[in-house]
Structure 1
Amino acid sequence: GKGYYVPVPADRNAAMAVVETFRPVLENPSIAKVAQNLKYDYLIMKWYGVNIQGPMHDSMLAHYLLEPELRHNMDYLSENYLGYSPVSIETLIGKKGKNQLSMRDAPLEKVAEYAVEDTDITLQLHHTFQPMLEKEGLATLYKDVEIPLVPVLAAMEYEGVNLDVPFLQDFSATLGKDIEKTAAAIYEMAGVKFNIDSPKQLGEVLFTKLKIPYQGQKTKTGKLSTGEDVLQRLADENPIASHILEYRELGKLKSTYVDSLPLLINPKTGRVHTNFGQAIAASGRLSSNNPNLQNIPIRTERGQMVRKAFIARDDDHVLMSADYSQIELRIIAALSKDQGMIDAFRQGMDIHSATAAKVFGVELNDVTREMRSKAKAVNFGIAYGQTAFGLSQNLRISRTEAKEIIDNYNEQFPGVARLMEENKEFARKHGYVQTILGRKRYLKDINSANNTVRSAAERVAVNSPIQGSAADLIKVAMLHIHAALQSGGWKSKMTLQVHDELVFDVYRPELEDLRQLVVEKMVGAIPMDVPIEAEVGSGVNWLEAH
C-alpha cells in the first residue's frame, strides 16, 4: 500500500505548525487510528496538545493477547506473520552508543522509506491479527478493555507524580551511615576486612575462615552460593549472615531507589513520569519502569520509607490510595464456588482467622496468632501451587506438619482444591487457561514428559486465572474511574497503579466524594458472587495514604 512521511522540524513552533495540519484528522472521531505501541504515539501527541480520537487499534496489544509469552516488537511480528524483514533502525542511524546518529542527521529519503514501511507493516499486522482475535474469543477483551485502557495509562503517565527530593537526600545520607555501621559489624564478626560485595571473598570468609556449615546447593560453576536463600537459612544461628542480608538490603534500597528516583524527574515538569507496560507481564498485570513501582520494597520499615518520597502536587492536594482487600483470595472463592470460603467473606470475617479455625478445628475465638500466621501462609501459597515442602520452608516447620495443614485445608475447603485440579485438567486438554474476562495464557509445557518443566506449567495453570482475573478487575475499575473523572470535570487525577492499588493526586475539597466514587467503581467493576472490598487512605505522601 501507500505510506506518507512528513518531517517534523526540531523547532517547537515549526513542529506545532505540522501538528496543526494533522489535528483535524487526529481528533476526528470518525477516522480510525492504527498503531504499533499506540500509547507512545498517543502520549507524544498529548504533549503537543492533541487529543487523539476515533476507533483505535494497536498491533502490539493485539499480539500480546494472542501470544502473551512472546515478543511483540514490530520486526519480530513482521518476520513471523508477514514473512518480511523490515529495515532495521540500526542500518539507518547505527547501534546504540555515542556514535549513534539522530534521526534528523540521517538522509531524508532513507528515513522516509523506514517510516512509511513502519506504517505499511503496522496496517498489515492489524488486518492479520483482527480475525485471529475473533477466532480466539479475544476480540471483546481487546476492544472493551485493552484498547480503551491506552488513553487512561497515557493520561496517568502525562500527569506524573511529585517527589520530595530533600527527603530523599536526607534518607540517602542516613542509609549511607547505616551501611557503614553494618559493614563495620560484619568486619568485626569476620575478624578481617574484605569486599562484602564479592561473592567469592564472602564465601571464603563464611565457609573457610569462619567454618560455617554450608546449607544449600552449589552454583552452576561448582562454587558455594552466598545467595539470599542460603543466607536466610544461616541467619538464625549465625548473626553475620543476617548482617550481610541487611547490608545488601540497605545497598539496594539506596542505589536502586533513593539515589535513582531524583534522576528520573522531568526537568520541564518537575515530576516523575513512570512508563506503564501493558504488553509485558503474561498474566495480564501491568508493569512499570523508570521507576519500577512494582518492585518498591514494602516489607521492611526502611523500604516503606521510599513511599514517603511520593508526595501530593501542592498544599491544596493530598494523595489517596485505594487498595483491593485480599483480592486474589476473593477471586479464588468466586471461581471455586467453595461455600465455606464464600460464607467467610460474606460474613465479613477475617479470612485468615476463619481459615485457621477450620484447619485447626477450633472456635474462631480460640485462634492463636501462630495459627492465623500458618493459615495465612496456606491461603497465599495455595494460589501458587504451594507444596508441603514449600510450606515447611516458609514456616520453618516439619514437612509432616506442613502436609497435615494442607490436607486439613483441602478437606475444609474442597472447592479450592477442586478448582486447582480443574485448572490443570483444562490446561492439559486445551493448552491454555483463562481469566474471568477470557484472557488466555498458553501453556506449551503442560503435557511435558519432563516432571520439573511440567510442574512449572501446572503452577502457572493454577495461578494465572487468579492473578489474571485480578488484573482484569483493576483494569475495568480504572476504565470506569477515568471515565467518571473525565465526564465529571474533576480536578483530581489518577496517577499510579501498582499491584492491586490505585493512587490519586486529590484536590482536597473533592476527597470525600472521590473516596466514594473510587470505592464504588472498584467494588462493582466485575460482578462476582463474593463481596469485593477496597481499602482507602489519604495523606500528604504515599506512605501516609497507604
Structure 2
Amino acid sequence: MSTSKIADSITTTCTVPEGEPVPVIKGSHVYLVDGSGYIFRAFHALPPLTRPSDGLPVGAVHGFCQMLWKLLADSKASEAPTHIAVVFDHSAKTFRNDIYADYKANRPPPPEELIPQFPLIRTAVQAFNVACIEQEGYEADDLIATFGRQALDAGADVTIISSDKDLMQLVRPGLVMIDGMKNKRIGPDEVREKFGVPPDKVVDVQALAGDSVDNVPGVPGIGVKTAAELINTFGDLDALLERAGEIKQPKRRERLTEFADQARVSRDLVRLDANVPVNVKLEALGVRDPEAGSLLGFLQEMEFNTLTRRIAEKLGAEPPPALKVSVGVTVAKVKTVTVVDDTSRAASSPGGAGTPGASVAHGNLLATEPAIDRTKYETVTTTEQLSDWITRAYETGHFAFDTETTGLDAMQVDLVGLSIATEPGAACYVPLGHVAAGGGLDFGGESDLVQMPIREALDLLKPLLEDPSILKIGQNLKYDCLVMQRYGIRLNSFDDTMLISYALDGGRGGHGMDELAMRHLGHSCVPFSKVIETAPGGKKATKTFAAVPIDKATEYAAEDAEVTLRLWHKLKPRLVAERMTSVYETLERPLVRIITDMECSGIKVDRTILSRLSGTFQQRIAALEAEVHELAGDTFNLGSPRQLGVLLFDKLKLPGGKKTKNGQWETRASLLDDLANNEDLPEDARRLVLTMLEWRQLSKLRSTYTDALPNYIHPESGRIHTSYAMASTTTGRLASSDPNLQNIPIRTKEGREIRTAFISSEGAKLISADYSQIELRVLAHIADIAQLKQAFADGLDIHAMTASEMFGVPVEGMPGEVRRRAKAINFGIIYGISAFGLANQLGISREEAGQYIKTYFERFPGIRDYMDQTKKFAHENGYVTTIFGRHVHYPEINTRNPSMRGFLERAAINAPIQGSAADIIRRAMVRMPAALENANLRSARMLLQVHDELIFEVADADVDRTIETVRSVMEGAAEPAVRLSVPIHVDAKAADNWEAAH
C-alpha cells in the first residue's frame, strides 16, 4: 500500500484511557505533553527511518515512542504524575483565523515523509494507554492552557512538557515547563532570561515583537529586546500605546503610533485561551499503566524490534517475535503482505536497517529474485481458479493488474483478458474474449480449455478492484481505468509505475514498460509485434489480441503484470529515499482519476460546422494554388518537396538552398518561413513565398482538423474523447493525441474558426478558464524581478510595461508595434530565444535583435542572474527543479558538443518556469472535482486541458457559480505548498462554443 493510502486508512480519534475517573485535588500532579512539539523534535532530531518491509516512513513515530516512554519511566522515578495527556493541534483552522485571516499563512506544509506518521503517532499514544487530546477550532496550546488552569484551580501542580516559547506565558507558582529533549526545567527565571520580562508580561512582548513563523505581525522594527525594555518601562501594552507620544526615539514613536491596532490584534493572537469548552474532563486523564499486549503489538507492527524488547523487559512481559512480514494497516483489517526472507541484505544497505537506503536495497531484491520464468504463468479459466487468485490478492494487500484489449482506443475497444501478479514469480492470465480466425473460440490447440464468461469473471473481480484497502499496481493505469470503467468497474487505490518513474527520472529516458524493464530489471519483454504474429490471419495490422492463441497470450500478458509488480518493488522505495513522494502523491497519482473522467466525458463537436469549414478552406486552397502557379509562371505540385526545391532554387535561384546527401534540395518545414524573413528577398519572390505559406497553413488545417476530426467522433456519445499522455514531456506538461486538441492554432482567423465546432450540449455552456501569462508570473517569482512583480501586483499591461522599461516609451499611447516587440521578447526570453530567432520573429536584423536582448537584460538583471545560476546548477547536478520539487533531468548537459550543450542549457533555463506552470495547473485539476462537489455544482464537468486552459461544461443555471469556483481553485492552486510573490489571475468566460468562450 502506498504511503499516503496507509495514512488515509488509519483513522484514529483522540481518546482517553478506560477506567474510573481520578479526581484532581490538592497534591495531584498533572502532566500536559505538547504532542506537536514532540513530533517535530523527534522528526528533525533523529535520522530518517523507514519500516524495513514496506518503506513506510516511521522515524518520527520511533522517536516519539522513545520520548514518551522515557517521560513515563523518568516521571515514575521522581515526580510521578497522577494525570497525563498528550495534546495535539487539530488540522482545521482556529478562532485566530477569524481574528487575522493570514495567521500562520506563511507556514510551509509538513515534510512529505512526516504526513503519514501523524495518525500513527496518535495510535502510539493510545497504545501507551495515555489520553490523546485534540479539539477542532483550538490549538494544542489553548487546550494545555485550559487544563492547566483547571488543575491549578483544583489545587494541583502542573508540568507542561514542551520548550515552546508560546507556552511560557502560562508559567506561574504551581505550573512549570520541562524541555524534554534537554531535561531542563523552565520556571519564572528562565522565562525572564528568554523574554526579559516575567511570565505575565510575555504576551505583551510577543504582541510587539510579532512572530514570523506564525505570521503574527507585531510592530515593524521592534524585536524582543526592545519590546521587553518598553514593557518594563511602561508596565504593559495598553499603557505603552496610550503614552507612545512620550517615547524619545522618533522612529520607535511613529511605529508604535501607526501600528497600535496591529499590536492589539497581535496580542489577541498570541494570548492563549485558558477557558476552552473542552470535550474531555480533567478527571478522565488519570494515569493508567500500559497494557502490554496492546503496546507491544503496536511496536511489533511498527517493526521497532529493539524498543519492543526493551519495553517488554520493563513491563515484565515476553517480547513478541520480530515480524518477518510487512503488516499493512487498512480500514477494515490488518493484512499480512510481502514476505521478508532476507533481512541481512537490508541491514547491510546504505544507512543500515530501517533506513530509506535499506528499503531501496530490499526493493531491488524483490524486483530481481527469483528470475522471470514465463513457463510458470497460470491460465485461469474457472471460477475456482480466479477465486484463488483473488484470495491471494487480499492476503498480500496489493497486486499488479493489466488488461488486454482489441485496440488502443480505450473508449471503443473490447476487453480480451486481464492479468494479475501477486508476487514475483506468481502471475496469471484470465482470457475472456479470445476468438479463432474464423470467428469461433481458439484455445491455442488445447481443446479442453474454456474461457470464463466475461460478466461472471468481472462480477468476481469487481469487489477486489473497487476495494480501497487493496492496492492495485499498473503501468499506464489510466488506460486500464478507462477500459474497466466502461465495464462498470471503478478502480480504487492504485499506484502507477509509469508515473513513479516519471516522478523519479523525468528526462532520463522513456517510461514505457519495455524500456523500464530493460533499464531496471535487465529483462527483455516479449514484444507485442512478436505475439501478434502468432495470431492466424493475413496482415499484422488487421490482427487484434483477441486472435492470439491463449498459451501465447498468457506468456505475454502475465509477464506484463509480473514485470509491473517488480518495477513497483524497485521504484516505489526510491520515492522516499530521493524525496520525490510529494511530487508523485500530489502531482501524478491523483491526476490519473481526473484525466480518466475527463477522457470519459469528452467534448461535443458539430459535424456541420466542420463540413462547412472544410468546404470553405478547400475553395481558398484552390484559389491560393492558382495564385502560386501564376506568380511562379509554372504549374507544379505544391505538396511535392522535390518539385518545390527545383522551383525555388533551380528556377528562381532564391538564396539559402542546401542539398541533401541524395542530391535533392532540402525543403524542411521552416524553409518558407526563413525565406519570408530574408530581408534581401525580391518583393515578387516574397509575395510568392507568403502565398505558399498561406496555402500550406490552410492545407494543414483542413487535413489535420476539419477533415480528420469527424473521424474521431464517438459513434455512441457523439463526442470527441482525446487521450492525454501523462508522462511524455520532461516538464510535466500533458500531451494530447487522437486527436491532438492542444495544437489547434489560435493566432489565425481560420484556426479560431475550428474551435467554433466544439460546442456545449443543449441547456449548457462551455466555460474556458485560462491562466493569464502564468509563465511570466512564475518567472517573476523565481527570478525575483522587482519590476515585473510590481507590474503584476498593480495589474498593469505587462508587455507595455516591459516596452516602457526597455525603450523609454510612455505606456499611455504606446504604438502597437512597440508593445508587440516587447511581448515577443518577454515570451522569447522564457524559451531562451537567440538574436537570430528574435530577428526572424520580428522581421528585423540580427544586430537589432541582439541589442533588444542586451537592453532587456540590462533593465531586468535578475533574469540574467537566474539564467546563469540555473545553468550552473544544471551543469553541477544534471537536473533542475520546479518550485514544487519536480526534478527535470538533463544527463547530457555536460556534452562537449557545443550545439547540443547550448540546446540543453536553454531547456534547463526554461524547465523550472514551464514545469512550475504545468505543476500549478495539475494541482488545480486535482482539486477541482472536490471543489465543484462541495459547491453543489454537480452539473459541471471538466472536459479538456489545453496548456494553461481548462474547459468545462455546465448547466446554464450553474454558470456563474462554476466560474467563481473554478477561478478560486485555479488562482489558489499553488498554495499552501508555495505562496507566489505575484498574484495569479484567471480569465474565465462562458459561451455556446469553445472559441466564443475563450
Q: Which bracket does the TM-score occupy, shorter chain normalised? A: over 0.9
User: Paired residue for 1:391, among 838, 844, 848?
Assistant: 838
Identity %: 42
1:215 equivalent to 2:656? Answer yes
Q: Structure 1 222/106 Cα, relative in aligned 2: closer, same or farther at 3 Å?
A: closer
Local SS of the residue matching 2:812: helix
Q: Is the CA contact (8 Å cut-off) linking 1:59 and 1:122 kept in structure 2?
A: yes
Partner residue of 1:90?
529
- Rounded to whole Å, the distance in 2 between the matches of 1:347 and 1:116 is 59
Offset of residue 135 of structure 1: 2.7
**CA positional deviation for 1:105:** 2.8
1:323-472 equivalent positions in 2, closer than 5 A: 323-365=770-812, 367-472=814-919
Matching residue's letter, 1:152: I
Query: Do 2:534 and 2:552's aligned partners in 1 also have CA atoms closer than 8 Å?
Result: no
CA separation of 1:252 and 1:23: change in aligned 2, threshold 3 A: same
Mapped partners of 2:550, 2:848: distance in 1: 71
Q: Distance in 2 between matches of 1:95 and 1:486?
A: 49
How far apart in 2 are the matches of 1:530 and 1:230?
A: 40
What's the counterpart of residue 81 of structure 1?
A: 520
Q: In the superposition, relative to structure 1, how do residues 224 and 175 fare at CA in structure 2: closer, same or farther (>3 Å)? A: same
Decide which moves more: 238-247 or 283-292: 238-247
Partner Cα separation in structure 2 for residue 192 and residue 9 of structure 1:
58
Aligned residues: 542
Secondary structure of 2:714's counterpart equals coil
| TM-fit CA distance, 1:223 | 4.1
Q: How does 1:496-511 map to 2 (within 5 A)?
A: 496-511=944-959
Name the residue aligned to 2:926.
479
Q: Distance in 2 between matches of 1:159 and 1:411?
A: 49
The structure number with the bigger radius of gyration is: 2
SS of the aligned residue for 2:939 comes to coil
Q: Is residue 286 from structure 1 mapped to residue 734 from structure 2 by the alignment?
A: yes
Counterpart among 637, 649, 658 of residue 195 in structure 1: 637
**Structure 2 residue corresponding to 1:490, chosen from 912, 920, 938:** 938
| Counterpart secondary structure, 1:319 | strand
Secondary structure of 2:720's partner? coil
Of 969, 981, 985, 1:521 maps to: 969
The reply on whether 1:66 has 2:507 as its aligned counterpart is: no
Q: Contact between 2:803 and 2:822, CA under 8 Å: does it hold in 1?
A: yes
* 1:3 Cα deviation after fit: 1.8
* Aligned residue type for 1:444: P
Q: CA deviation at 1:212?
A: 4.3
Shift of 1:315: 1.8
* Counterpart residue identity of residue 214, structure 1: P
Give the AA of the match of 1:514.
Answer: T
- Residue 447 of structure 2 corresponds to residue 4 of structure 1: no
Q: Residue 168 of structure 1 aligns with which residue? A: 610
Q: CA deviation at 1:216?
A: 5.3
Tell me how far apart the structure 1 counterparts of residues 750 and 591 of structure 2 sit (CA, whole Å).
34
| Change in CA separation of 1:308 and 1:92 when aligned onto 2, cut-off 3 Å | same
The one-letter code matched in structure 2 to 1:40 is Y
For the residue of structure 2 that corresponds to 1:504, the secondary structure is strand
Larger mean Cα displacement after TM superposition, 106-115 or 91-100: 91-100
Q: Could you say which residue in structure 1 is the equivalent of 2:766?
A: 319
Tell me the equivalent position of 1:265: 713
Name which of 45, 50, 54 aligns with 2:484: 45
Q: How does 1:298-309 map to 2 (within 5 A)?
A: 298-309=746-757
Which 10-residue stretch deviates more, 133-142 or 532-541? 133-142
CA distance in 1, matches of 2:800, 2:661: 43
| Distance in 2 of aligned mates of 1:293 and 1:89 | 28
For 2:736, give the aligned amino acid: S
SS in 1 for 2:427: coil
Q: Is the 8 A contact 1:16 1:48 kept in 2?
A: no
Deviation at 1:102, TM superposition (A): 3.4
Partners of 2:881 and 2:663 lie apart in 1 by: 41
Amino acid in structure 2 at the alignment position of 1:41: D
Distance 1:10 1:17, change over 3 A: farther
Aligned partner of 2:76 in structure 1 is: none
Q: For residue 333 of structure 1, report the CA deviation from its aligned partner.
A: 0.3
SS of residue in 2 equivalent to 1:373:
helix
Give the distance between the partners of 2:738 and 2:546, measured in 1 at CA. 26
Q: Counterpart of 1:311 in structure 2: which amino acid?
A: I
| Alpha-carbon separation, structure 2, partners of 1:65 and 1:95 | 36
**CA-CA distance at 1:393 after TM superposition:** 2.4
1:221-232 alignment to 2 at 5 Å? 221=662, 223-232=664-673
Give the structure 2 partner of residue 277 of structure 1. 725
Q: Which has the higher helix share?
A: 1
Asked if the contact 2:625–2:695 (Cα under 8 Å) also holds between the matched residues in 1, the reply is: yes
Q: Give me the whole-angstrom Cα distance separating, in 2, the residues matched to 1:89 and 1:224.
A: 38
C-alpha deviation, 1:443, in angstroms:
1.2
Secondary structure (helix, strand or coil) at the match of 2:429 reads coil
User: Which secondary structure state, in structure 2, belongs to the residue aligned with residue 240 of structure 1?
Assistant: helix
Distance apart, 1:260 and its partner CA:
0.5
Q: 1:229-284: per-residue Cα shift (whole Å, max 9, x none)?
A: 33234447221111111111111111111110000111122211100000111111
Partner Cα separation in structure 2 for residue 234 and residue 8 of structure 1 = 58
Specify whether residues 357 and 472 from structure 1 end up closer, same or farther in structure 2 by C-alpha distance, changes over 3 A only. Answer: same
CA RMSD in angstroms comes to 2.0
8 Å contact 1:261–1:291 — kept in the other structure? yes
SS at match of 2:431: coil
The reply to whether residue 531 of structure 1 matches residue 998 of structure 2 is no
1:185-235 CA-partner distances (Å, limit 9, x unpaired): 1111222221111122122223333x3432355545554444453323444
Distance in 2, Cα, partners of 1:525 & 1:426:
27
- Structure 1 portions without partners, runs of 5+: none
- Residue 86 of structure 1: how far off its partner (Å): 2.4
Give the Å deviation of 1:468: 0.5
Find the residue that maps to 1:494 and give its secondary structure.
strand
Deviation at 1:158, TM superposition (A): 0.4
2:457: which partner in 1?
A: 18
SS at match of 1:536: strand
Counterpart Cα distance in 1 of 2:510 and 2:674: 37
Q: Distance in 2 between matches of 1:342 and 1:533?
A: 13
Residue 150 of structure 1: how far off its partner (Å): 0.2
CA deviation profile, 1:396-436 (whole Å, cap 9, x unmatched): 22333223222221122111111111110110111111111
User: Which secondary structure does the structure 2 equivalent of 1:531 belong to?
Assistant: coil
Structure 1, residues 101-121: CA drift from partner, whole Å, max 9, x if none? 433333323322322222111
TM-score, structure 1 as length reference: 0.95
C-alpha offsets along residues 14-66 of structure 1, whole Å, 9 cap, x if unaligned? 42332221111111111111101110111111111212112x10111111222
Shift in alpha-carbon separation, 1:6–1:445, aligned structure 2, 3 A: closer
**How far is the alpha carbon of 1:88 from its aligned partner?**
2.7
Greater Cα offset, 427-436 or 134-143: 134-143
Which secondary structure state, in structure 1, belongs to the residue aligned with residue 987 of structure 2? strand
